[in-house]
Amino acid sequence: MSDDESAEGAMDANPRPVTLLGLDGVSWSFVEELLDNADVPALTGLVDRSSRGVTKSTVPCLTCPALPAMYTGMNPGNLGIFEFIKPNGDIVTYDDITYPAIWDYLESVNENVVVSAMRTTHPAPQVNGAFISDVLSPEEEPEFVTPSSERERGERFHQFRDELEHQKKTGLDDDLLSTFVKMNAERSEVMLELLDEYDPAFACLWFGLADGVQHYFWDDRESLYEFFEAFDPYLSDILDSRDGDIVVVGDHGFGPTRDYQFHLNEALRREGYLELAGGPIQRAFTKAAYWFSETVMTDELKRTVLGVLDRFRNLTDNDSGGEQDNNLNDIVITPFDDLPGIDWNATVAHASTRKGWGINIVKDSTTADIDELRREVIAALDSLQTPHGNPVIKDAWFGEELYPGRYVDQVPDIVILADDHVRPRPSIFGKLFTDMNPGNYVGAHDSAREAVVMAAGDSIDPETTVGDSNIWDLTPLLLNRIGLPVPERVDGNVPKALRRDDTATNRYPVEHVRIDKGISQLDTTKL
């Protein structure tokens, strides 16, 4: 029996339609606040008939890598995607996704899908049905809709994009909220038309503007309520239009913007794990350079400078040839082991990611047991408090425990989740904390790992609790609810409370593998 035949044979004779509603950045605390304070009858009714739980996002808690992990069922340690930006300075695209997505599994058994507003999916893949990617610039990223016959709907989907981006830069006012509302309404209309035309076995409707409106109006609760009240009638129409199961998920939570920068390498220096190079004059110069970087340079300028340096480093490595040249395309986390001003012979631990979510042990500088040393570093950070009096870190893991997989050798030795009010930075200039000026962003989610997940359907008991699950459990869950076996290769698992029956696993006929910079579909028997 071929893989193709076994996959189809394992499928239910009458697959159950499943709809995934993505509420980007929505947590249970915010849902409960909406139920108490806003006029959202459709959301209230859905919550009442749903089994509920918490889905844990990736660390850092960003839409990318969270969404690729969600729609592939793979953790970032296997995907090799940890942030929006790759080591070469480019933005992650769908060409960088090296495992099948849920719509690939459905296409392999000839089932229709509708996917709309999903980020990190440009260029849009060909599917049985329709696919609209959420992109930042339709002009610069034109391949955002398939098939080509849906181009008009795709254009409507993004028609307010330029207006929205302009208003974000000019300040917060009623016009910005109005644009969020009307753009979300137009997208909802397009989604309803696609559902009616294709009647898909699986629909993934991602409401990414729920994230944007929280970024800009987090401290204006009435505006947030207004946005979700305007969305509620569309939610009602979507629920009325679909049979089968409804699954709702957020890719991360949300919270207030950070008040302080936490200078992680400074903390490690004070605890004796990091040493500056040179004498007093060189050390003073090093601290002054870090101070200038963190207090004078904008984030945009720093990203530009670092991007130029990365490209220069890659070009230099390419010109030099040798073994390093062959490994350049396999780098998934920007190397951060060449920070200036550090005495690497005397340093045993340092921040290893630009956003400060990882720490590496310099193994050549210590004879200590590495695991014991990692526990010691975590304990030292655990003892620190923010100016608010909270622990600086909410959680910490050994990297290989959180993100096992083919890129585990690049995962930091320690992965940390910081307090909501602090932004870790890999800087050193004599202070643990400095004030932040977030600009128009008044809400943030870098440390908001817990998001909503709930499911409703005829065979789902609302009295049961889903419990905690990982964001990469969503693909196995959705396939199981549809009636398809779970791919053998995925990292995720079907939450027990939502499992339709004993979970079957199978090897599917479609796999994605990296070939140069593109993706090629191959029969698994040839892998």
480 with 67: CB under 8 angstroms? no
pLDDT at 28 > cutoff 90: yes
Report residue 235 as tokens: 């939610």
Stronger pLDDT, 136 or 37, i.e. the higher one: 37
pTM (predicted TM-score): 0.91
Residue of 431, 407, 276 whose CA lies nearest to 350: 276
Residue 335's pLDDT is 79
Find tokens 């004070």 and name the residue: 270
What was the pLDDT predicted at 69? 98
492-511 pLDDT tens trace: 999 999 998 877 888 888 87
Distances (CA, A) of 199 to 126, 128, 213, 245, 478: 17, 11, 30, 14, 17
Question: Is 506:487 a contact under the CB 8 Å cutoff?
Answer: yes
Of 67, 78, 76, 134, nearest to 102 (Cα)? 67
Average pLDDT, the chain: 89
Q: Which of 10-14, 202-206, 456-460 has the lowest mean pLDDT?
A: 10-14
d(CA 446, CA 258): 9
For residue 311, the model assigns a pLDDT of: 56
Between 162 and 338, where is the model more confident? 162
pLDDT band at 8; cut points 50, 70, 90: very low
**442: its two tokens:** 């008044």
* Helices and strands (H and E) in the chain: how many: 18, 22
Give the separation between CA 51 and CA 463, rounded to whole angstroms. 6
Phi and psi, residue 144, nearest 5°: -105, 5
Radius of gyration, CA atoms only, the chain: 24
